[in-house]
Amino acid sequence: MSTARAARFDFIPAIDLIGGKCVRLTQGDYAQKTVYHDDPVTVAKQFESAGVKRLHLVDLDGAKAGKVINQSVLEKIAAATELEIDFGGASLVTVGSIAAKDPELVKSWLNIYGAARFFLGADARDEKIAVHGWLEQTDIFVFDFVRDYAAAGLKNVFCTDISKDGMMQGPSGELYKMLLKRCPGILLTASGGIRNMQDVAGLIQIGCSGAIVGKAIYEGQITLKEIELFHAGKTTH
């Protein structure tokens, strides 16, 4: 299946870390953990060889503990590759839990460092923001959350529908359509539920600017060859 490429669309593999290993959870449940690789650096280098430019690195230990735990893995990947990494303290700083808990602090950072340095993580369960590794539910509606930060100048947003994450049942297209409609001007990266390159093509068509893909790669539903062809602009089947 071929498709017209968006003016900007980033295919962003995810590496989730627990104990320094590459893992995936199901619906954010730490009790439903699968270890896919012992060496995240090797995985990151494979992605880079397939043409990937950006990497979504998630410190699940850190999200649970409320502080960075796997910084050494970040440093090793940054040293071994030229990937643009979004992670606390990396080239794109992800703000999620703290953006929900302390918006005034985060907005002060936007003013000091520039909004382009930040990636807003809008993780939602039943359209409400969840924080601290999705273990805590807030009363903040995802649309209000994103719109508030967009008004403050933050345009780079990734949104995960937690109910879809790791389920391999397809992404939340309707949620993303609604976000793009209610928050015009954002650069929206979809996350959660992506099964194959057809799903990626569908996200391009609704106007998303990127997709974070995890389990589909590790389960072999999206191959490194398909990623390579995508980056060459040849196909998304």
Give, in degrees to the nearest 5, the angle at Cα 57 between 153 and 213: 90
Sequence-distant (≥ 6) Cβ neighbours of residue 105 within 8 angstroms: 98
Sequence-distant (≥ 6) Cβ neighbours of residue 24 within 8 angstroms: 16, 33, 34, 36, 166, 214, 215, 218
Distance in Å from the first CA to the final CA of the chain? 4
Answer yes or no: 39 catalytic: no
Helices within the chain (DSSP H only):
40-49, 60-65, 71-80, 97-101, 103-113, 142-151, 173-182, 197-206, 215-218, 224-231
Answer yes or no: 199 catalytic: no
User: Of the residues 59, 61, 123, 161, which is catalytic?
Assistant: 123
Q: Which residues of 128-166 are buried (b: 16+ CB within 10 A; e: fewer)?
A: bbbbbbbeeebebebbebbbbbbeeebbbbbbbbbbbbb
Phi-psi region of 185 (alpha: psi -120 to 50; beta: other; left: phi over 0): left
- Residue at 93: amino acid letter: V
Helices within 15-155 (DSSP H only):
40-49, 60-65, 71-80, 97-101, 103-113, 142-151
> Annotated catalytic sites, by residue?
16, 123
